[in-house]
Amino acid sequence: MSEHIAFTPLTPGDREPVARLLHRSLVQWYESRLGQGARFGDSHEPFLLFPDVYEALDPGECVTARDSDGRILGVCFSHERETHVAIGIVSTAPEAGGRGIAKKMMSLVLDKARRLGKPARLVSSLMNLDSFSLYTRLGFVPGATFQDLLIAVPETGMTSPPPLGVEQVREARTGDVARIADFEFSQQGIRREKDFHFFLRNDAGSWHVLVSEDAKGRMNGFLGMSTHPSCTMIGPGVAADEQAAIALLWKALDGLRGRSLVFLAPCSSTGLVRTAYSWGARNVELHVAQSTAPDPSARGIVFPTFMPETA
């Protein structure tokens, strides 16, 4: 980095330039490497959701990189939670790539995680060697792998019959928030109660949360989703077993009639993946969870998400 670049928090005036940067860098990267730029559309407007939601959820936590004219060259969102610091979307302007900008932004977040004594976590594309390399060079260790599955839900709802356990799935209520956070902690060793409060308040973005309980009323899964028109995506969620995971997923999809969307399923959950195939889902990408301190005791079936990327 020869010229002077400043690393500063996001300001309200950055909303539009950040959305343009996210859109431009993703289109350019996916088009030049994979010929798939078109999947991000031709407008930056859906990407306004990222600064809007992330500044409402974690104000002041985003790091930007700016040149001497104040132009944004890079952005890195992070989310401090009870047990960890999550890193969300990271992006460098195509013309400024390969100059250490993403590395510096990430290092600032990692310094914060070290000061807090917490691991940093993220989900990284296995089709993007630039980001995979960036993260692993910084000390992240790859863990569970996920299939990004694209599915179109018919206008009339799911055509396959309701799977076992659907009758145990219901809408989450405000009083469930702590139980959802505790359940995730019991399975995955991470806690992020703030996110579940945010979803149920539902005043920035558009969210929906389902929970599943066993016959004794004990929680055995939850599944959140972003239903905003700029980003319909299932997750975050965790289920104790495949039956609960499939029931939650079916119920979530049945509520998203007429929409096409992506969800991430663990590659190792073969029953869940085969069920998704039988519903017409198609693989579109692969991701891997990465952490600076992987937890070998993590269990359960995880549905990660990119909105919000707080796991």
- Which residues contact ligand COA by CB under 6 A? 25-26, 29, 89-92, 97-103, 125, 128-131, 133-134, 137
Closer by beta carbon to ligand COA, 145 or else 186: 145
Beta carbons within 10 angstroms of residue 26's beta carbon: 19
Decide if 78 contacts 86 (C-beta within 8 A). yes
d(CA 217, CA 221) in angstroms, rounded, equals 11
At residue 249, the 3 state secondary structure works out as helix
Distance CA(233)–CA(224), nearest Å, equals: 9
Of residues 127 and 204, the one with the C-beta less far from ligand COA: 127
Instruction: Give the H or E element holding residue 7.
Output: strand 6-9
CB proximity list for 136: less than 8 A, separation 6 or greater: 142, 290
Q: How far is the CB of 164 from ligand COA (least distance, A)?
A: 36
Give 92 or 220: the residue with its C-beta nearer to ligand COA.
92
Of the two residues 92 and 269, which places its CB atom closer to ligand COA in the complex? 92
CB atoms within 10 A of CB 60: 8
First and final C-alpha spacing in the chain: 31
Tokens coding 37:
């730029």
Residue 76 or 281 with smaller CB distance to ligand COA: 76
CB of 310 to ligand COA, least distance (A): 14
